[in-house]
């Protein structure tokens, strides 16, 4: 047996993943255990979880693989500063201490951390290997995919040098084709607009994507004319005079601000039509680059399938446009496409590229629905409920599904905690907050009273896979909620003469028979639910369909703004008690908010998280 641990850490979204003979045994982000969103620290708890799940010790591993090469990253840092000097000196001075103290000696740091957490000497530790950042992304996309051969496209902010890269995967082999290097980066271009529109870089990009449908692409030509030169093959170069991320501490320069008529929006201030139009404009440009790169890759490789990874691959609107363009027959996207997924890619790279293990396919992907995190039994939950003195009822599957389906149909909001936690940023029905997609009020209620987040944010539908084409312009699986499609025309409602063409006011108008999951441009971020990968979630939605006639529910991650998605029953109980959620289901246990002690609710409401 070949057993390999992959680690990503020390930038953002630290994680660990363990693979045995090519099978993914466990994977989790450190933030889920530490309760610190995007936690960059060494993932002690994630590693321990992976080892416990595999029933092994560190010394039982064949290799440990880190997801990037720090010396190459340091080389990029030095060359960038030298090329820009004396500009960026202040930033250079700020960056050096952490490099000289820790990151330059990363191998020693990793071995020290691993030795401390396991209690074994450094000499006893397994061999430590390093994969390149984009190699880890590419491996995370191709090796778990269902394809024997595929083109692989990785797009992110930056790794060591690469910001975009293309690969050819076949069998257990993964060969690099080309790359676009820092500072020319599609991910950083998108992040520059995230920053300028007043959202946090590395966490607010999905807010910008959600804001785009409210706007017009009126700045798209300006972006193409001044910021990015897009070639016919999709390759691009940025005009760096508009950006400050190369040597400064912000993303955009004064020249950028002059071009778009003002300083960046302040965080938490009102979002204006300008930000909506900017969001739409950069979204259009991003989609153009992604599709052109994919077309070039298709021509270069002749492959029928493509795999995607890197933070830009979480842009499910661009993914949907790529699918719609029909460049490739099929697409597979790593659910943990950001840096957390680098841990899985590093482990996979170790298995196939370092150890040369044959890759066996069985017609489906190897991601196991991305249900790769911790799980808790009914007995575990019972002990926690008793410790906390919370009343609950234990129901068998049949009674539980009927009762919860009825509550959903009655406009109650459900916290749904089942099985293994998801790996990746999306809730896929095991750590989810659920609601009725037919409800006109549900989007507002869930945004403002449950999630405590911006009112413009849309919610996604989880639909039975067998019914997806009945409700959306989609005829393929989307199990990881990484594809956007339009709500099918037959579910649209007539637009009144007074409905505005753009802007936040469109939120006030019901646009379809499924208002809670229909974005203002009639799009939806679709998750198809499959009996094979999540039978309990499939059963619940089926029970809801029997009562409502609609085979879907609203699905949003089980957390409030600034909080990582819940991991344990205790996390779920705290979130349930601190919000206006009506019901909590933990395995077969059901808790009703009306029965909860006032003191427990008051204590839970004292929780605070830094806003993202």
Assess whether 397 and 488 both reside in one domain.
Answer: yes
Bridge partners of 602, per DSSP, are none
177, 164 Cβ separation under 8 angstroms: no
The distance in angstroms from the start CA to the end CA of the chain is: 42
- Peptide bond before residue 183 is cis, with ω within 30 degrees of 0: yes
List the single range of 87-96, 425-434, 435-444, 518-527 with lowest mean pLDDT: 87-96
> Of the residues 332, 350, 384, which one is the last residue of a structural domain?
332
Sort 456 into a burial class: Cβ within 10 Å, 0-12 / 13-18 / 19+: buried
**pLDDT at residue 101 is higher than 90:** no
- The pLDDT confidence band at residue 310, using thresholds 50, 70 and 90, is very high
Assess whether 119 and 187 both reside in one domain.
Answer: no
Query: Alpha helix (H) ranges present in 336-377?
Result: 340-349
Domain membership flag for residue 588: yes
- SS3 of 141-199: the string is HHCCCCCCEEEEEEECCCCCCEEEEEEEEECCEEEEEEEEECCCCHHHHHHHHHHHCCC
Q: What is the mean pLDDT of residues 391-398?
A: 98
Residue 84 host element (H or E): helix 70-84
Domain membership flag for residue 168: no
More confident residue, 609 or 96: 609
pLDDT value for 608: 85
**pLDDT at residue 602 is higher than 80:** yes
Average pLDDT value for the chain: 94
- The pLDDT confidence band at residue 82, using thresholds 50, 70 and 90, is confident
pLDDT value for 512: 95
Rg (CA), the chain: 24
Domain membership flag for residue 575: yes
pLDDT value for 76: 86
Domain membership flag for residue 294: yes
Assess whether 285 and 398 both reside in one domain.
Answer: no
List the single range of 53-57, 86-90, 192-196, 471-475 with lowest mean pLDDT: 86-90
Domain membership flag for residue 472: yes
Assess whether 541 and 505 both reside in one domain.
Answer: yes
Assess whether 466 and 535 both reside in one domain.
Answer: yes
Assess whether 27 and 77 both reside in one domain.
Answer: yes
Tell me the longest C-alpha to C-alpha distance in the chain.
74
Helix (H, G, I), strand (E, B) or coil at 306: strand
Pairing relation of β-strands 63-66 and 162-170?
A: unpaired
Assess whether 199 and 119 both reside in one domain.
Answer: no
CA angle (427 as vertex; 424, 433 as ends), nearest 5:
155
Pairing relation of β-strands 523-529 and 483-486?
A: antiparallel
Distance CA 583, CA 416 (A): 9
Assess whether 115 and 73 both reside in one domain.
Answer: yes
Assess whether 192 and 309 both reside in one domain.
Answer: yes
Query: Alpha helix (H) ranges present in 229-310?
Result: 254-259, 273-301
Domain membership flag for residue 150: no
The DSSP output letter for 304 is S
CATH number where 450 lies: 3.90.870.20
182, 158 Cβ separation under 8 angstroms: yes
Instruction: Write 180-183 long-range contacts (CB < 8 A, 24+).
Output: 180/235, 180/236, 182/76, 182/80, 182/158, 183/80, 183/158, 183/238, 183/240, 183/243, 183/245, 183/246
**pLDDT at residue 195 is higher than 90:** yes
How many beta carbons lie within 10 A of that of residue 329, not counting itself? Answer: 10
25: region left, alpha or beta (phi > 0 left; psi from -120 to 50 alpha): alpha
Distance CA 31, CA 42 (A): 11
CATH number where 132 lies: 3.30.420.40
Q: State the residue for tokens 């984009």.
A: 134
Assess whether 301 and 258 both reside in one domain.
Answer: yes
Model confidence pLDDT, tens digit, residues 157-169: 999 999 999 999 9
Number of domains in the chain: 3
Domain membership flag for residue 166: no
Beta sheet of 23-29, edge-to-edge order: 23-29, 15-20, 3-8, 63-66, 127-130
Residues 6+ apart with CB under 8 A from 509: 495, 496, 499
The DSSP output letter for 205 is H
Q: 3-state DSSP: the chain helix, strand, coil percent, rounded to 5?
A: 40, 20, 40
**pLDDT at residue 452 is higher than 90:** no
- Percent pLDDT > 70 in the chain is 100
Assess whether 344 and 328 both reside in one domain.
Answer: no
Q: What is the pTM (predicted TM-score) of this model? A: 0.95
**452: its two tokens:** 């405590």
Distance CA 1, CA 548 (A): 49
pLDDT value for 321: 96
Assess whether 241 and 282 both reside in one domain.
Answer: yes
Pairing relation of β-strands 483-486 and 460-464?
A: unpaired
Q: How far is the CA of 137 from the CAs of 11, 127, 461, in angstroms?
A: 15, 21, 27
Domain of residue 310 covers 181-332
Pairing relation of β-strands 305-309 and 236-238?
A: unpaired
Distance CA 446, CA 553 (A): 13
Bridge partners of 586, per DSSP, are 417, 589
> Of the residues 347, 366, 385, which one is the last residue of a structural domain?
366
Model confidence pLDDT, tens digit, residues 361-384: 998 999 999 999 999 999 999 999
Q: How far is the CA of 80 from the CAs of 5, 85, 96, 181, in angstroms?
A: 32, 9, 13, 12
- Residue whose C-alpha is closest to residue 423's, from 15, 3, 1: 15
Domain membership flag for residue 149: no
**pLDDT at residue 70 is higher than 80:** yes
pLDDT value for 549: 97
pLDDT value for 74: 82
């Amino acid at each position: 047996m070949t057993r390999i641990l992959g680690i990503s850490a020390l930038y953002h979204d630290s994680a660990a993943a363990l693979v045995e003979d090519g099978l993914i045994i466990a994977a989790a982000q450190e933030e889920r255990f530490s309760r610190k969103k995007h936690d960059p620290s060494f993932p002690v708890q994630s590693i321990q979880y992976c080892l416990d799940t595999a029933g092994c010790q560190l010394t039982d591993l064949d290799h440990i693989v880190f997801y990037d090469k720090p010396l190459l990253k340091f080389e990029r840092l030095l060359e960038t500063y030298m090329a820009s000097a004396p500009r960026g000196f202040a930033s250079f001075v700020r960056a050096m201490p952490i490099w000289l103290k820790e990151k330059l000696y990363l191998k020693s740091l990793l071995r020290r951390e691993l030795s401390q957490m396991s209690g074994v000497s450094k000499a006893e530790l397994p061999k430590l290997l390093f994969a390149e950042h984009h190699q880890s992304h590419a491996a995370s996309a191709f090796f778990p995919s269902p394809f024997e051969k595929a083109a692989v496209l990785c797009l992110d902010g930056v790794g060591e040098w690469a910001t975009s890269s293309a690969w050819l995967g076949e069998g257990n082999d993964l060969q690099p084709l080309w790359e676009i290097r820092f500072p020319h980066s599609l991910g950083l271009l998108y992040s520059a607009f995230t920053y300028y529109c007043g959202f946090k870089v590395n966490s607010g990009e999905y807010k910008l994507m959600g804001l785009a449908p409210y706007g017009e692409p009126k700045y798209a030509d300006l972006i193409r004319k001044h910021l990015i030169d897009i070639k016919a093959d999709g390759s691009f170069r940025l005009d760096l005079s508009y950006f400050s991320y190369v040597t400064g501490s912000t993303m955009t320069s004064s020249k950028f601000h002059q071009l778009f008529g003002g300083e960046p929006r302040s965080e938490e201030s009102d979002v204006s039509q300008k930000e909506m139009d900017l969001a739409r404009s950069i979204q259009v440009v991003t989609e153009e680059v992604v599709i052109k790169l994919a077309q070039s890759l298709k021509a270069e490789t002749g492959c029928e399938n493509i795999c995607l990874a890197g933070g830009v691959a979480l842009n499910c609107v661009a993914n949907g446009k790529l699918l719609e363009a029909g460049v490739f027959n099929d697409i597979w996207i790593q659910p943990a496409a950001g840096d957390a997924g680098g841990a899985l890619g590093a482990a996979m790279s170790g298995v196939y590229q370092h150890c040369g293990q044959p890759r066996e396919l069985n017609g489906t992907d190897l991601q196991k629905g991305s249900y790769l995190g911790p799980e808790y039994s009914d007995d575990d939950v019972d002990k926690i409920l008793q410790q906390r003195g919370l009343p609950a009822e234990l129901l068998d599957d049949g009674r539980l599904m009927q009762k919860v389906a009825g509550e959903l149909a009655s406009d109650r909001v459900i916290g749904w905690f089942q099985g293994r936690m998801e790996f990746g940023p999306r809730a896929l029905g095991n750590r989810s907050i659920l609601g009725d997609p037919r409800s006109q009020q549900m989007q507002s209620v869930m945004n403002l009273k449950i999630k405590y987040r911006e009112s413009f944010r849309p919610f996604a539908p989880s639909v039975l896979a067998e019914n997806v084409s009945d409700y959306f312009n989609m005829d393929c699986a989307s199990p990881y909620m990484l594809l956007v499609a339009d709500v099918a025309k037959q579910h649209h409602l007539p637009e009144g003469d007074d409905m505005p063409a753009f802007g936040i006011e469109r939120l006030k108008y019901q646009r379809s028979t499924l208002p809670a999951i229909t974005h203002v441009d009639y799009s939806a971020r679709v998750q198809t639910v499959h009996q094979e990968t999540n039978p309990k979630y499939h059963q619940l939605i089926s029970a809801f369909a029997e009562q409502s006639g609609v085979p879907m529910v609203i699905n949003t991650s089980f957390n409030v703004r600034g909080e990582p998605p819940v991991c344990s029953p205790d996390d779920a109980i705290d979130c349930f008690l601190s919000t206006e959620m009506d019901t909590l289901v933990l395995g077969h246990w059901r808790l009703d908010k009306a029965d909860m002690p006032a003191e427990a609710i008051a204590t839970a409401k004292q929780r605070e998280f830094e806003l993202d």
